[in-house]
Structure 1
Amino acid sequence: MDKTQEFVNHIRNAYQPKGDYIHLGAAMLNGETFADAAVKIPLKTMNRHGLIAGATGTGKSKTLQILAENLSQKGVPVLLMDVKGDLSGIAKPSSGEEFLHERHKKIGFPFEVSKSPVEFLTISEQDGVRLRATVSEFGPILLSRILDVTPTQEGILAIIFKYCDDHQLPLLDLKDLKKMLQYVTNEGRETIENEYGRISSASTGAILRKIVALEQQGAERFFGERSFEVTDLTRKDENGHGYVNIMRLTDIQGKPKLFSTFMLSLLAEIYTTFPEEGDSDKPKLVLFIDEAHLIFKEASGALRDQIESIVKLIRSKGVGIYFVTQNPTDVPAEVLGQLGLKIQHALRAFTAKDRKAIKLSAENYPISEYYDTKNQLTSLGIGEALVSALDEKGRPSALAATMLRAPMSRMDVLTNTELEELILQSKLRPKYNEEIDRESAYELLNKKIEEAEAKEAREKSTAEALEREKASSKTARKTTSKTQGAVIKVLTSATFIRGVMGVLNKLLK
């Protein structure tokens, strides 16, 4: 058996799942594509997380699109984080250019056109189904991780949440939380300290400044009602195809804190809400996080630890997470170690730093007798990638340089008119885009403060009235006393005169 046939058999044995699968493409060796060496990813292992990496322009977004649309056709709902705004085309079928058919002839199966059911979501000013969460749903621990507070400040947040629970003060948005911080520092300080312990005004001031910084990145639009129900991400259409939920994030690239906040909230809510799935034939939901470095950029150690913990645990809920980024080193090593599927597009070696990164990336892949991984990483063309997956028993499969299939949907973005039409057709939009601002901690505390001020004003007015009455009474007594003195003087004088006159009368007689 020659080396080529040996390679083909090697790949076929490694990528022949017995259950359902996604046909990713065909393996390559020395620049030649072998149609009978198909690379098929078991659907069963798609909840084991993954990585799509590569330099700009090597085809990462199209690989994401391929996986998302194939998962949708298999009945698996998908959530895409569309940071660059180039994934909306999945809602329309491909125009089927000739070069796509030619590519598929090399891969060994015909090119088909298709579209996926799509829902457009937003946490910013862009149009779409609005995703929100209340401050109460975050809780003091998660909120502390996001704000990166000290242990003392975390304790104060815990007291605030406890006080609000005990006194039926809903914490819905950031203005509620800010009002509570002001209240515990001023009007309600004595009451709260008597019941829960001493609170430092310096600490509440520090927390307040961190909340303001979060607001500057647009977080006030994210916190509030109506809270998004994560089960709405798992919808299917009338054909049994999973919805592809596209989160529009093109305007938050410069707001990594908001992106981290949203992602942590979403992952925590999914983990809390979804039941344990065990080993199922396919995932319940798959998330693709484009520009994944934004999650970890400027994230505190505590926040990073929280994300890493959820990534490790959420697999048992039937949820897969796929990070899409330029270099694998953008993702923490602790997270990389949890990934089952790795699709590595070409890397470019322009600097010494690049060459070092390529060497590190090569070490993340299984050793192969057919490839010099480090050199292979720099010689891959557009739409080609090194693939390393798990088989149905969770074992790492052989490394395969792969010519990837083409997306069945449009590779270009939707026009503004097409986008608006799809957004208006959304069944979730009426449910979540209604503005709700019910009575919560902000309004209740303002009412409480107003009532306290009104009571204080009434008490002050009563006290002043009593003082005036007392002063008036004192003045009246003084006037009476003076009058009585004058009368007494007059009477005394008259008595004296009458006495003198009486004596004189007697003498005259």
Structure 2
Amino acid sequence: MTEEGVFVGGGGEGYATPQELKLQYGNRHGLVAGATGTGKTVTLQILAEGFSQAGVPVFMADVKGDLSGIAASGSTEAKLHDAFMERAQTIGFDLDYRAYPTVFWDMFGEKGHPVRTTVSEMGPLLLSRLLGLSEAQEGALNIAFHIADKEGLALLDLDDLRAMLRHIGERADEIALEYGNVGTATIGAIQRDLLVLENQGGGQFFGEPALDLTDLIRTDENGMGQINILAADKLMGNPQLYATFLLWLLSELFEELPEVGNPDKPKLVFFFDEAHLLFDDAPKALVDKVEQVARLIRSKGVGVFFITQNPGDVPDGILSQLGNRVQHALRAFTAKDQRDLHRAAENYRANPSFDTEIAIKEVGTGEAVTSFLEKKGVPGMVERTLIRPPQSRLGPLSDTERAAVIAESGLGDKYDTPVDRESAQEILAKRAELAAREAAEAEAREKAAKTAAGRSELDAGFENFNNARRYDPTAKSKPTRRSSSRSDTILETFGKSLARQLGTKTGQTIVRGVLGSLFKSR
């Protein structure tokens, strides 16, 4: 580390003079490429160390579990110490073992603080990419987000999104004229994809408390930049989720950070490992979004480094924006490998001292061809470079050491316990409960009104009957004793007469109910 840049390496005879990545161009992005086993992980580690020492926070994914050692000091007892010291002397580097301020994050909350976001913050575009939705399904998802926003329904987790999809499915006829048809088959397909995502552990990513970006952009009491490491070894079991998460994080940084122009050093450096996962089978709209973010985010003071095996994995529109490059060895076993090697060599400013294509094929482990931006942002001439050894531990921490680092971060109280506040699922459930209660009450009122109307008609019928007997001069006096058959005849006659008096179906129903028991008593 120098005052102006991050020292990357150099060499003795036949190799480059000291090579460094100038801090003022750290936000011009970069590329670290090379075949498996050629030293990309060590290059990531020494770049993170250099930026941290310059006071620049770093975010990087630990795909293989090897980068956690950056939180511990390298040891003179390590078997690699002698080789490291020899390399340091060769390139003129003062090797001083030290640990770096580190915070561990983990989407699953197992090897670091849980990192979450809400469904609303993820947005329909990235969520559609994550779920692999068709055009029709993506359209339905956009409708769900739009109506949720319009009705003030917060989409925080997958349960909220499921409830919202059911809601628009139930209102399909109502919303069709304004937004278009939303079929039940489409809704069902999205629901199945959400279930698959949840079964893969993706459900833990959505919820609150959501990640506060300011917790990534911190320095310690000594002014060293915080190195944020995302445990990604388990996450790589779902490559789509891994790539979508990192793209979401980039998008959030782009949207939330203020413009800073051309700062003396970056505000944050973001390492995107296994970058090919982002572009494999990606729709053009998504690639365009990545290109836009990469082009504009540097004005926010953020540098993005893509790490991949082959530079050809990165689309040309993005590759052209990567000014700082470290190219480890590429192996050319097939015709396609040879074409990729030739294409990679063409992306460097030629050095008359050697053939770049041959150098990329011949450099060994821990060596690379490098090119960093120079004054006025001009690409530097390609050089063969011996990569410097790391000052932190090369290799993973133990579980006990990792737990101690996590406990010391001071972020546990903020992120380790999930929060479940009222959101779309609860609000829609209350609406449904209220609607059901109001419907039941309306039905009860209607039933009571019908019963009351029937009773009024019955009372009127009895009154008419009594009046008829009272004023009929031919009516006989009520005998004191009657036979059972005579009583039945009078009652039946009375019932028929009364039914005629009432003259309505309701009255007839009530009469049959009142008098039926008498008829059955015979």
Q: Give TM class, smaller chain.
A: 0.7 to 0.9
Q: Which residue of 2 aligns with 1:411?
A: 394
Superposed CA offset, 1:284-324 (max 9, x none): 10011222222223433322322222112111111111111
Q: Which residue of 1 aligns with 2:249?
A: 266
* Pairs within 5 Å for 1:243-262: 243-262=226-245
Tell me the amino acid that sits aligned with residue 130 of structure 1: P
Tell me the amino acid that sits aligned with residue 35 of structure 2: A
| Alpha-carbon separation, structure 2, partners of 1:299 and 1:489 | 96
Tell me the amino acid that sits aligned with residue 238 of structure 2: K
Q: Which residue of 2 aligns with 1:77?
A: 57
Choose which of 180, 184, 194 in structure 1 pairs with 2:164: 180
2:90 equivalent to 1:106 = yes
Residues 490 and 259 from structure 1, CA distance in 2 versus in 1: closer, same or farther, beyond 3 angstroms?
Answer: farther
Contact 1:42 1:392 in 2 (8 A): no
Contact 1:114 1:409 in 2 (8 A): yes
TM-superposed CA distance for 1:391, in Å, is 0.6
Contact 2:91 2:386 in 1 (8 A): yes
Q: Secondary structure at the match of 2:210?
A: coil
Q: Which residue of 1 aligns with 2:373?
A: 390
Q: Secondary structure at the match of 2:376?
A: coil
| Alpha-carbon separation, structure 2, partners of 1:140 and 1:352 | 41
Contact 1:28 1:402 in 2 (8 A): no
| Alpha-carbon separation, structure 2, partners of 1:427 and 1:191 | 50
TM-superposed CA distance for 1:114, in Å, is 1.5
Q: Which residue of 1 aligns with 2:283?
A: 300
Residues 210 and 468 from structure 1, CA distance in 2 versus in 1: closer, same or farther, beyond 3 angstroms?
Answer: same
Contact 1:69 1:115 in 2 (8 A): no
Superposed CA offset, 1:222-275 (max 9, x none): 111112111211100111000000011111212122112211221111111111
TM-superposed CA distance for 1:130, in Å, is 1.7
| Alpha-carbon separation, structure 2, partners of 1:200 and 1:274 | 37
Residues 189 and 453 from structure 1, CA distance in 2 versus in 1: closer, same or farther, beyond 3 angstroms?
Answer: farther
Superposed CA offset, 1:368-400 (max 9, x none): 222222222221111000101111311010110
Residues 412 and 150 from structure 1, CA distance in 2 versus in 1: closer, same or farther, beyond 3 angstroms?
Answer: closer
Unaligned runs of 5+ in 1: 1-16, 496-509
Which is further off, 478-487 or 218-227?
Answer: 478-487
Q: Which residue of 1 aligns with 2:100?
A: 116
Q: Which residue of 2 aligns with 1:280?
A: 263
* Pairs within 5 Å for 1:453-468: 453-468=436-451
| Alpha-carbon separation, structure 2, partners of 1:333 and 1:33 | 29
Residues 150 and 181 from structure 1, CA distance in 2 versus in 1: closer, same or farther, beyond 3 angstroms?
Answer: same
Residues 213 and 112 from structure 1, CA distance in 2 versus in 1: closer, same or farther, beyond 3 angstroms?
Answer: same
Q: Which residue of 2 aligns with 1:504?
A: none
Contact 2:209 2:419 in 1 (8 A): yes
| Alpha-carbon separation, structure 2, partners of 1:100 and 1:217 | 41
TM-score by length of 2: 0.83
Q: Which residue of 1 aligns with 2:417?
A: 434
2:46 equivalent to 1:62 = no
| Alpha-carbon separation, structure 1, partners of 2:113 and 2:219 | 17
Superposed CA offset, 1:458-486 (max 9, x none): 11222233344445566677788889999
Choose which of 80, 95, 111 in structure 2 pairs with 1:127: 111
* Pairs within 5 Å for 1:163-202: 163-186=147-170, 188-189=171-172, 192=175, 196-202=178-184
Contact 1:28 1:401 in 2 (8 A): no
Tell me the amino acid that sits aligned with residue 200 of structure 1: V
Contact 1:33 1:106 in 2 (8 A): no
Contact 1:45 1:392 in 2 (8 A): no
Residues 95 and 466 from structure 1, CA distance in 2 versus in 1: closer, same or farther, beyond 3 angstroms?
Answer: same
Q: Secondary structure at the match of 2:277?
A: helix
* Pairs within 5 Å for 1:466-505: 466-470=449-453, 491-492=474-475
| Alpha-carbon separation, structure 1, partners of 2:343 and 2:369 | 15
| Alpha-carbon separation, structure 1, partners of 2:334 and 2:151 | 60
| Alpha-carbon separation, structure 2, partners of 1:254 and 1:18 | 39
| Alpha-carbon separation, structure 1, partners of 2:26 and 2:411 | 27
TM-score by length of 1: 0.85
Contact 1:25 1:405 in 2 (8 A): yes
TM-superposed CA distance for 1:159, in Å, is 4.2
| Alpha-carbon separation, structure 2, partners of 1:24 and 1:274 | 28
Q: Which residue of 1 aligns with 2:25?
A: 45
TM-superposed CA distance for 1:367, in Å, is 2.3
2:66 equivalent to 1:86 = yes
Contact 1:56 1:326 in 2 (8 A): yes
TM-superposed CA distance for 1:429, in Å, is 1.9
TM-superposed CA distance for 1:190, in Å, is 5.8
TM-superposed CA distance for 1:425, in Å, is 1.4
Q: Secondary structure at the match of 2:18?
A: strand
| Alpha-carbon separation, structure 2, partners of 1:428 and 1:46 | 28
Tell me the amino acid that sits aligned with residue 104 of structure 1: A
Contact 1:28 1:400 in 2 (8 A): no
Q: Which residue of 2 aligns with 1:4?
A: none
Choose which of 420, 434, 451 in structure 2 pairs with 1:451: 434
Which is further off, 330-339 or 289-298?
Answer: 289-298
| Alpha-carbon separation, structure 2, partners of 1:99 and 1:18 | 23
2:320 equivalent to 1:340 = no
Q: Which residue of 1 aligns with 2:303?
A: 320
RMSD value, Cα: 2.9
Contact 2:356 2:382 in 1 (8 A): no
Contact 2:35 2:330 in 1 (8 A): yes
Q: Secondary structure at the match of 2:229?
A: strand
Contact 1:124 1:249 in 2 (8 A): no
Contact 1:55 1:326 in 2 (8 A): yes
Unaligned runs of 5+ in 2: 479-522
Contact 1:47 1:318 in 2 (8 A): yes
TM-superposed CA distance for 1:207, in Å, is 3.9
TM-superposed CA distance for 1:158, in Å, is 4.4
Contact 2:88 2:388 in 1 (8 A): yes
Superposed CA offset, 1:330-382 (max 9, x none): 22222211101111111223333322322222222222222222222221111
Q: Which residue of 2 aligns with 1:7?
A: none
